[in-house]
Structure 1
């Protein structure tokens, strides 16, 4: 069962409550509207999309974004212990999944390596939107696998009257989390102010048995192998923000500043800790109900200054820095007959550097500019069509600084990537509808895929890039049958992506020393290589209203997903792909009480490259309960949540640390949330 938490106003807006039934949540149903998947605000979207908010997000929320979303259909976790994880969508990770904050990217180094956390505590998030499948049309080549967009209202977009806020405390879990958070918003109907702060501490994670697998212990016996604890997995996270906006009937404009500070251990190296800090400045504005060719214009911009240090035995080994900006503008044109659409532009700049003797990537400046268009046509009463395109130019300019290791980083590289996408939603009957997408997407390789060369201490691998890599190219499609008869609501869908050039971080089978020479006692070499690849699979979900009785309302939630990924050049499976997963949840509500029991099954994963290990299957049991009550003008929720109650050993096939870092064992957490 997922953990609770999240600071947000108690009442749910229609946008916030959209599509709650797509995730383990209590049954609140409001008309869907997802702006990440389609800024035109359509209630019928061809792209497979999910929104988490309210109790759904509260009961899913964990200390990292990847673990928070891990139970969503098609979404797995890169899991690097409780301190770091990033969402993986349909087997695609890193710079194929675009992480947005209020629609704009915030620079970090999470895509560079699995041990680099996303500098975001989900406790500050009001809503998370997930687009599964290519969203590069709107958000760039790094969304070739999907988008995860988080919203926090740090720049209020609607007028606020008076004072409102929220607070939360929680304790427990397998890592003995101690978390507190608070939010305060005030306004006079024109000016709005937002303040929030949070703090989280956690101990080494409790696990059912040994951290290392039996095969790993037999291959490399070590004295003092730890049992029941995942060593060096403790840490802390602190953050806060201040923002404000000026609102009027037809728009808003505002600014915000947020800070994130963390210190956590790397389970891959017992002597390595990571100290991270990020400062983010944002501006957002929208003007609606315009006359002339455009009916509305929306502008979002952000500047980020990010830094983290990898500290080994008290000494700083490598310091990563990333600063830069992203800005995008979207203009919605007036309807042209049955056609509605937007045109937009986006610019980004990133200045990345890795300092220290153990730096494995050179200093690099990356600049990108893009133009995009999206049009939507209500062709008939039953058929809605969409079509769009994007062109993006990227320049990657490295500076090896005279380091022989980066001799290949001696000149800049430029790439022009294009994407086109189409979609259709056809209403078969009032109950059934069919949704389909087809798109072609290109992605420019990143600086680390081009120029990496060196040992990465925190992950225990030696990473090697290829300066001659060409653009990543994929043709992708989705087909889903959706249904809603009042008792059952859900969908069954299949997806397929063919990459003519997939840039994967693939094990070479060699072991190297710190200088890059072959050494049987060294660390494994992983290379960024362009190969032909195929990804295919299915996703399904159903929310079934069982009964409404004097003893409460009962519902059943069922979901499942499966991804199969193959290296077509070698015939081998691609690494780090989640296996078949099946989930079921029994929900109960009565007056102020709510509860659920969850059962999750993951099959074993034996489809792995020859030089990698598979994972065993597992079945876990979870449960939670909550009670709502009022004190004066405030509303409260007291909750208890348990996960993996039978204390099963869980190793994620999607984690590079699967052989040495299992997921949490038996976990019980309690919490109290208030809103006013």
Structure 2
């Protein structure tokens, strides 16, 4: 029955006679490379070399073959083979660089072959850098920082961009959470069971839509098996800084043509230790009191509990696979930075998510089309913000997504695919402190992606057009009440109610090339024009957000202040404009031999850049809550700063660099650096932009031992926006050592912030309330099978 349904869904096959393409894969010294992987570009067919490096590939008579060949410790390479050239000898060059195929791109390419800058974190590197949140896991990657909402809800910042501009995906499908709405919302993914994490720097709208105008973080796992091999891993770890405990395991196996997957994790941590006072204004006094004592301060509301599992299965066919998975995630985490008159207030979030995914990758035996990839996802997400036992706001997001990529055979030597993409999100914020109204967002898009080799030059072209509809009912706004900036008077009367529908047609186009101008080097260039419709939260927000501790106002409104210092809110008279990015990337790479580097420079000109900015005004008594016992209500008299979304033209530019030197067989050194400058056309700087950073890492591996020492120096950030303070520079030193007890069993020890540096993250809304963790040590054991 399954085969019959698949046959009905696929273009009718035309059976042609088959021929054989044969050859051998060797290294530079002529030695065969066993178990090298050969991907047939434009299809889902993959084969491996035998112990003598040999391969044999069936192809249609009269058709040439494009192979993408990869092997560990070697540079990936693409070969074009004509049937008359048999047998072929394919030579790979050794490299000190980490070369990994990128799953999140529509064409076969590694991080060293893409026109767009890509970072891939996988294998032991991913396990070594894994943290409780996605932002903290990726914060040391080139061009990536963390917005650091404590260790519980940190999200990645790519080249100074975050929130609705940076798309978080799981196996190419939107994570479907509320993490793009506010910095205090945790990303509903788990890195402990991931196979690799891919970071597409710069606009990725061509592949993922307008929500990726700043980049993409794609978490790749094996929840839907693509084979029936048996393998897996497990990990136990405990960290001292918060008594953080982690148990994680994943495994794949198969029976006949059926693949099976199961993974799960459990994590629990207390409030974490900090090397000084939480509040920046009390740090100097605090240091005087504690200079002779070991500091055991902890950051209130920084604890977390989380657990989850994924169950998946697939049916393996000769021409590909079809699979389905179900995942469940629960996370309860504190929200730091809340207190009234010096006393901490219990504020935390309760998150739950259920997720279904359907993936299919099938090769087609058709005269026109070579493969079809299909992805469907359904996500049911709920997130409640709770203060002293009372729910202030509950966020719900029910989303559906479907994407079909249809690859065609070469047309005048151009290879590519047509993509049809649909997304729908039904988002609501319910409760007395809901700061954004319920909204529906629907997107329908079609894209064309093509590439062609011209000798040593690879050209990649693409275009995408979307139709985006955003609607909101019951948008309640106080337009008439006056507020005094000093007294903070606020009358909770909503005098205007709106229903708003917006419709836009964002268009994206991209052109890139990769030039192998001499052996072992390439030069990559890409230009992307990308458009984005502002999100519902950016447009419709109005009210207190207890998680972020802000009074948030959307771009449809404006703050009007009079000479007496009183202010009120009014509808803006400006039209809703698309955010438009024109981005240029230039990369120079050296990848062969014991010394390699990647140097990137970028310039991003953005019209109508929507950002959340401080007005300098505050509101008092913005929300009431029941006490923890639930008996009496009390007024929360804290002041909330008023932040409003504005749209202005801006320019972001900077550089990223990574140098790697394999000094000897056991010793590898690397140096990294990145810098972002973000300015408004009308003058001034954008807020919360990470500072210049430089890092160094040394890795030593001999026998069963492996050691690593790394340091990151963050320079002072004094290029700040209005009402934003400077942030001091700091240096973080980390180290780790591991020992292989057997081929599949490892014990390890990690140390973070070894100098107990008192540091704050400039890009964080909690910069003045939540320093980075104190010195910590983690011990763990991991295994593979």
Structure 1 length normalisation: TM-score? 0.91
1:204-254 CA-partner distances (Å, limit 9, x unpaired): 111111111137899xxxxxxx97211110111100011100012211001
Q: Answer yes or no: is 1:122 the counterpart of 2:199.
A: no
CA distance in 1, matches of 2:75, 2:120: 7
1:247 equivalent in alignment to 2:316: yes
- Asked if the contact 1:327–1:348 (Cα under 8 Å) also holds between the matched residues in 2, the reply is yes
- 1:392-541 to structure 2, matched below 5 A, reads 392-400=466-474, 405=494, 407=496, 409-467=498-556, 468-513=575-620, 522-541=639-658
Q: Which runs of 5+ in 2 are unaligned?
A: 1-34, 38-68, 77-94, 286-294, 339-344, 479-493, 557-574, 624-635
Alpha-carbon distance in 1 for matches of 2:149, 2:71: 30
Tell me which residue corresponds to 1:24.
none
Kept in 2: contact 1:452–1:465 (CA 8 A): yes
TM-superposed CA distance for 1:406, in Å, is 9.2
Name structure 1 gaps, 5 residues minimum: 1-10, 22-26, 219-225
Give the one of 540, 545, 553 matched to 2:662. Answer: 545
Query: In the alignment, which of 668, 671, 696 is matched to residue 555 of structure 1?
Result: 668
Match 1:228 to one of 265, 273, 297? 297
Within the candidate set 236, 239, 246, 1:169 is matched to 236
Change (3 A) 1:501 1:408: farther
Which residue number corresponds to residue 401 of structure 2?
326
Corresponding position of 1:222: none
Q: Secondary structure at the match of 2:537?
A: helix
RMSD over equivalenced CA pairs, Å: 2.4
Please give the alpha-carbon distance, in whole angstroms, between the structure 1 residues aligned to 2:446 and 2:324.
25
Counterpart of 2:781 (choices 668, 672, 675) is: 672
- Distance in 2, matches of 1:131 and 1:562, equals 17
Q: Is the 8 A contact 1:235 1:263 kept in 2?
A: yes
Residues 1:408 and 1:445: Cα distance change in structure 2 (over 3 Å): farther
CA distance in 1, matches of 2:495, 2:458: 51
Q: CA deviation at 1:164?
A: 3.2
Pick aligned residue for 2:771 from 643, 652, 662? 662
Verify: 1:314 aligned to 2:400, yes or no: no
* Aligned residues of 1:18 and 1:34 also touching (Cα < 8 A): no
* 2:185 maps to 1:73: no
**C-alpha displacement of 1:338:** 2.2
Q: What secondary structure sits across from 2:384 in the alignment?
A: strand
Does the CA contact (< 8 Å) of 2:475 and 2:497 recur in 1?
Answer: no
| Counterpart Cα distance in 1 of 2:166 and 2:186 | 14
In 2, Cα distance between the equivalents of 1:358 and 1:464? 13
Contact between 2:75 and 2:592, CA under 8 Å: does it hold in 1?
no
Q: Who is 1:271 aligned against?
A: 346
TM-superposition CA deviations, 1:454-478 (whole Å, max 9, x none): 0111111110002343111111001
- 2:273 aligned with 1:202, yes or no? no
Report the counterpart of residue 635 of structure 1 in structure 2: 744
Select the residue among 214, 217, 224 that pairs with 1:155. Answer: 224
How many angstroms apart in 2 are the aligned matches of 1:520 and 1:254?
53
- Secondary structure of residue in 2 paired with 1:449: helix
CA distance, structure 2, for counterparts of residue 351 and residue 16 of structure 1: 44
Whether contact under 8 Å (2:475, 2:499) holds in the other structure is no
Once the two structures are TM-superposed, the CA of residue 165 in structure 1 deviates from its matched residue by: 2.7
In the TM superposition, what is the alpha-carbon distance from 1:507 to its structure 2 partner? 1.1
Where in structure 2 are the equivalents of 1:356-367 lying within 5 Å?
A: 356-367=431-442
Worse-superposed segment, 166-175 or 600-609: 166-175
Cα shift at 1:409: 4.0
> What's the offset of the Cα at 1:316?
0.9
The Cα shift of 1:166 comes to: 2.1
Distance 1:640 1:207 in 2: 21
Question: Is the contact made by 2:446 and 2:464 (CA closer than 8 Å) also made in structure 1?
Answer: yes
Residue 431 of structure 1: CA displacement?
2.7
Q: 2:693 aligns with which of 565, 576, 581?
A: 581
Task: Choose from 621, 625, 628 the match for 2:733.
Answer: 621
TM-aligned CA distance change 1:536 to 1:211, over 3 Å: same
Q: Compute the TM-score of the two structures, normalised by the length of structure 2.
A: 0.79
Q: Which secondary structure state, in structure 1, belongs to the residue aligned with residue 275 of structure 2?
A: strand
Q: How far apart are 1:659 and its partner, in Å?
A: 0.7
Whether 1:212 and 2:321 are equivalent positions in the alignment is no
Asked whether the 8 Å contact 1:18–1:33 carries over to 2, the reply is no
**Aligned-pair CA distance for 1:637:** 1.4
Q: What SS class does the counterpart of residue 55 from structure 1 fall into?
A: helix
**Equivalent position SS for 1:207:** coil
User: For the residues of structure 2 that align with 1:599 and 1:243, how far apart are their CA atoms?
Assistant: 39
1:568 to partner: Cα distance: 1.8
Q: Is residue 471–residue 501 contact of structure 1 (8 Å, CA) maintained in 2?
A: yes
Specify whether residues 120 and 32 from structure 1 end up closer, same or farther in structure 2 by C-alpha distance, changes over 3 A only.
closer
Asked if the contact 1:362–1:409 (Cα under 8 Å) also holds between the matched residues in 2, the reply is: no
Q: 2:122 aligns with which of 53, 59, 71?
A: 53
Partner of 1:371: 446
Of 361-370 and 431-440, more deviation after overlay is shown by 431-440
CA distance in 2, matches of 1:202, 1:18: 37
Q: Which moved more, 1:41-50 or 1:51-60?
A: 41-50
Aligned residue for 1:400, secondary structure, equals: strand
CA distance in 2, matches of 1:395, 1:304: 20
The structure-2 alpha-carbon separation of the partners of 1:326 and 1:594, relative to structure 1 and needing over 3 Å to count, comes to same
Please state how far the C-alpha of 1:16 moved relative to its aligned partner.
Answer: 10
What is the total number of aligned residue pairs between the two structures?
A: 641
Contact 1:17 1:54 in 2 (8 A): no
User: Which fold has the larger relative contact order, with Cα–Cα distance below 8 Å and residues 6 or more apart in sequence?
Assistant: 1
- Is the CA contact 1:406–1:451 (under 8 Å) kept in the aligned structure 2? no
Shift of 1:188: 2.3
Contact 1:37 1:135 in 2 (8 A): no
Distance 2:36 2:702 in 1: 19
